Structure 1
Amino acid sequence: MAETRRRSRKALKICCGVSAIVITIILVVFITLAFTVFKPKNPLIIPQSARLQNVQFQMFPSLTLNATLGLNVTVQNKNYGGFQFDNTTTYVDYRGIGVAEVPLERGSVPARGELEIYSVANISADKLLLSPYFWDDFGSGGFNFTSTTNFQGKANFLKVFKLKAKVFATCHISVQILSQHIQVNCTSKLKL
């Protein structure tokens, strides 16, 4: 009987040791994956097209300026988790003065997928003309705008973990008046 107890204790110690080693290996693999493969990455915002539409400029009998800025971007999600965002608003500024607000409807970007976003901003001429830089920029033939968007929602990792997440997106938009050539550069930052 003593021999049986010794064998069962030895087997129990071996079982506990093997279990501890397996759990340690699983934890090391999980932590390694969490800091490498599953580490949250900023989404890419790639401008596809931008166009200036309905441009109307009149100096007499009163100064008026109306324009519509259309912007089409692709959001690439490089993460292994999807992102669902709520309704939000894109704000367009000209040298620190808000000149347009564009509502964006809720949506989602799939894991390792893309989302096309098309937005149209009606530029408020009254606010644009308030800037002391307007005539200098008009004379140089170009305007620089900045659009900012704060996407708030949830990131879903492996359809198990749901975390609150925010994506801050900024686009710098340079518009040449005569050629109506538009150059767009965007950046984004993910915050969990």
Structure 2
Amino acid sequence: MAEKEQQPGHNSAAPYNYGRADEEAQTKELKRQKRKKLILYIAAFAVFQTIVIVIFSLTVMKVKTPKFRVRTASFETFSVTASSFDMRMNARLGVKNTNFGPYKFDNSTITFYYRGAEIGNALVPKSTAKFQSTKSFNVTINLSSTNLPTSSELGSDFNSGILPLSSTSRLTGKVELMLVMKKKKAINMNCTMEVNIASKQIQNLKCE
């Protein structure tokens, strides 16, 4: 029997595989979502890094000027007459360093004054204030009225029982950060105090 001729319009191609098309579409969607998440992670990491760098720059890497102060003072000898004084002071000084690196300072001098007239000075030896700490040390100063002008108010201050004193000094040095970065910093000391003649003690000690 002769084979039947193929009817016009009859499609002999294999039927379309809808299941495979759905699987490919899902795979593409998963890849797209993964790429989107990856981009979001990278952006979040970049923002986090920027915040860390800003905080690091504003805290750890920011160099602050240390503070130099007379912390306490006492007298080893104390001689006061009706018109003169001669004292040996033991002053405890402090260099407060709030930086995240040591502050190394050079030799300097601390000078004491009575109403603007110099009455004594002492060497401040070079040293290092470690990071986030205070370097304390003692200096001994001989304070004398020998070179005061004759017009000084010493007599009236003796009568009041109070001698007003002041001290100044300037430290120069460098703050070292991360073992590589060095920043020059100078500190000016300006302190005022009173000597109570009756008790032979320092009072009202203030430093700027």
TM-score (normalised: structure 1): 0.74
Question: Contact 1:89/1:103 (CA < 8 Å) preserved in 2?
Answer: yes
Name segments (4+ residues, structure 1) moved above 6 Å: none
Question: Contact 1:95/1:131 (CA < 8 Å) preserved in 2?
Answer: no
Matched with 1:144 is: 164
Matched with 2:88 is: 68
**Aligned partners of 2:151 and 2:55: how far apart in 1?**
52
Percent sequence identity over aligned pairs: 24
1:135-171 CA-to-partner distances (Å, cap 9, x unmatched) read: 1111100111111110101110122211111111222
TM-score (normalised: structure 2): 0.69
Q: 1:105 aligns with which of 125, 137, 152?
A: 125
Q: 1:51 aligns with which of 57, 65, 74?
A: 74
Matched with 1:4 is: none
More strand by share: 1
Matched with 2:3 is: none
1:85-140 CA-to-partner distances (Å, cap 9, x unmatched) read: 01100011111111111111110100012211201111132134645221111110
Task: Name whichever of 97-106 and 73-82 sits farther off.
Answer: 73-82
**Aligned partners of 1:121 and 1:36: how far apart in 2?**
38
Distance change in 2, residues 1:104/1:131 (3 Å) = farther
CA RMSD of aligned residues (A): 2.9
Q: Which runs of 5+ in 2 are unaligned?
A: 1-34
**Residue 100 of structure 2 is aligned to residue 85 of structure 1:** no
Distance change in 2, residues 1:105/1:73 (3 Å) = closer
Instruction: Please identify the structure whose Cα radius of gyration is greater.
Output: 2
Distance change in 2, residues 1:172/1:58 (3 Å) = closer
Question: Contact 1:97/1:131 (CA < 8 Å) preserved in 2?
Answer: no
Task: Name whichever of 23-32 and 133-142 sits farther off.
Answer: 23-32
Q: 2:57 aligns with which of 22, 25, 34?
A: 34
Q: Secondary structure at the match of 1:126?
A: coil
Cα distance, 1:38 vs structure 2: 4.2
**Aligned partners of 1:131 and 1:52: how far apart in 2?**
26
Distance change in 2, residues 1:88/1:109 (3 Å) = same
**Residue 202 of structure 2 is aligned to residue 179 of structure 1:** no
For 1:97, the aligned partner's letter is: A
